[in-house]
Amino acid sequence: MVQSKTWVLARHFEGFPEDSNFELKLEQQPEPEDGEVLLEALFLSVDPYLRPFSRLRMKEGGVMIGTQVAKVIQSNNSAFPIGCHVVGRCGWRTLTVSDGTGLTRLLSDWPQEVPMSLALGAIGMPGLTALYGLEEVLGLQAGDTLLVNAAAGAVGSTVGQIAKIKGCKVVGSTGSDAKVAFLKELGFDEAFNYKTVSSLEEALKAASPDGYHCFFENVGGPFSSVAIPQMKEFGRIALCGGISTYNDTTPQTGPYPHLTMIFKQLKMEGFLVGRWEHKNQESLRRLMAWKREASTVLGIKTSLKSRPVLC
């Protein structure tokens, strides 16, 4: 038996998360049996989706959901030898016994100079979310003008970089001047701090007076109400998240975009990254190739960057 630290959901969130929502506990992990492995967590994910998903998929007292990069430290499973690294939905715990279900080995040629934490970021689920939202949902084309909010986050920052690689104009909205500077470093054409602009509508118009072909939506709420009228006719909207609503105790109401969407003939599609799971290995290799490239497009370095992942 080995002892693992686990973070459990002591009580469901009401409003903003607090320390009292979590409790650190110790649990005993059995020795791995035939076909099983013992994993040691190296990095844990802390993603916005955990907030709404915890309400839908967790009971109080359960180990907090989440993905981790882990190292195999004991193995009775030939598919996962000792020393290899995997990504798995093992939750917030330091040690896990697994039969291999749901585990994915890191790319066999993962470069030493690339931090493994990026397997929870630009070369992981957030990167795949960005890629599939752009290609499969929006059908992004060279020359399109793209708007992305929560643009300095793990998904949003990758969205903008891929769109630049594909030859698009990219406008990003974020919540601090430091994040605006970060987006400009990544090559965003326009970026603004939505908290300090005098008018969100005017900021969007100034960034792209002719409107937007595509909108990668991560925020929802009042931002959407202002952004949707800025779409071009036949514009496309990828609905990835709604972080402005996750901590609400009373549901937000209107205004409602139906007439704007009808008259402009807009397309809005919600999506979950797992829909294209069959493409993940190929897609991760594409993301890694972009990360390693040092190519320059329009004078902007386009090698894929990412902020560090919390661990």
Band of the pLDDT at 155, cuts 50, 70, 90? very high
Does the pLDDT value for residue 307 go beyond 80? Answer: no
Is residue 310 very low, low, confident or very high in pLDDT (cuts 50, 70, 90)?
Answer: very low
Quick one: DSSP state of residue 93?
Answer: B
List, as one string, the DSSP characters of 122-189: TTSHHHHHHHHIIIIII---TT-EEEESSTTSHHHHHHHHHHHHTT-EEEEEESSHHHHHHHHHHT-S
Q: Which bin fits 292, alpha (ψ -120 to 50), beta or left (φ > 0)? A: alpha
Question: Domain 2-106 carries which CATH code?
Answer: 3.90.180.10
Spatial distance between the Cα atoms of 268 and 238, rounded to a whole number of angstroms: 6
Work out the pLDDT band at 176, boundaries 50, 70, 90. very high
The answer to whether residue 6 scores a pLDDT higher than 50 is yes
- Report whether pLDDT(297) > 70: no
Q: To 5 degrees, how large is the angle CA 33–CA 39–CA 44?
A: 150
| DSSP strand pairing (145-148 vs 212-217) | parallel
How much is the pTM? 0.93
95-128: pLDDT as tens digits: 999 999 999 999 989 999 999 999 999 999 999 9
Kindly state the helix (H) or strand (E) to which residue 8 belongs, with its residue range.
Answer: strand 2-9
| 211 pLDDT tier (thresholds 50, 70, 90) | very high
The mean of the pLDDT values for the chain is 93
Both tokens of residue 283? 């897609």
Residue 39 confidence (pLDDT) above 70: yes
Token pair belonging to 107: 């790319």
Domain boundaries, the chain: 2-106, 125-274
- Whether residue 197 is predicted with pLDDT greater than 60 in this model: the reply is yes
Q: Taking residues 41-67, what's their average pLDDT?
A: 95
Amino acid, single-letter form, for residue 12: H
Distances 226 to 177, 200, 260, 306, 309 between C-alpha atoms, Å: 21, 7, 11, 28, 31
Q: How many CB atoms lie within 10 A of CB 206?
A: 13
| Percent of the chain topping pLDDT 90 | 90
What pLDDT band is residue 205 in, cutting at 50, 70 and 90?
A: very high
Distance CA 99, CA 8 (A): 22
Q: What are phi and psi of 125, to 5 degrees?
A: -55, -45
Residue 294 has pLDDT above 80, yes or no: no
Q: Which two three-digit tokens encode residue 297?
A: 């497009």
Tokens 């607090």, located at residue: 18
Question: CA 50, CA 35: separation in Å to the nearest integer?
Answer: 30
> Which CATH homologous superfamily contains domain 125-274?
NAD(P)-binding Rossmann-like Domain (3.40.50.720)
> For residue 85, what are its two tokens?
């690294």
Nearest-angstrom CA–CA distance, 142 and 154: 23
Tokens 């279900």 locate to 101
**Phi and psi for 61 in degrees, rounded to 5?**
95, -10
Q: What is the mean pLDDT of residues 54-60?
A: 93
- pLDDT score at 11: 96
Token pair of 284 as six digits = 């991760």
Give the tokens for residue 19.
């320390």
Q: How confident is the model at residue 309 (pLDDT cuts 50, 70, 90)?
A: very low
Tens-place pLDDT, residues 212-230: 999 999 999 999 999 999 9
β-strand 37-44 against 104-105: which pairing, if any? unpaired
Q: Give per-residue pLDDT as tens, 242-287.
A: 999 999 989 898 889 999 999 999 999 999 999 999 999 999 999 9
With 90 as the cut, is the pLDDT of residue 305 above it?
A: no
CA-to-CA distance for 167 and 161, rounded, in angstroms? 10
Backbone angles phi, psi at 238, to 5 degrees: -100, 115
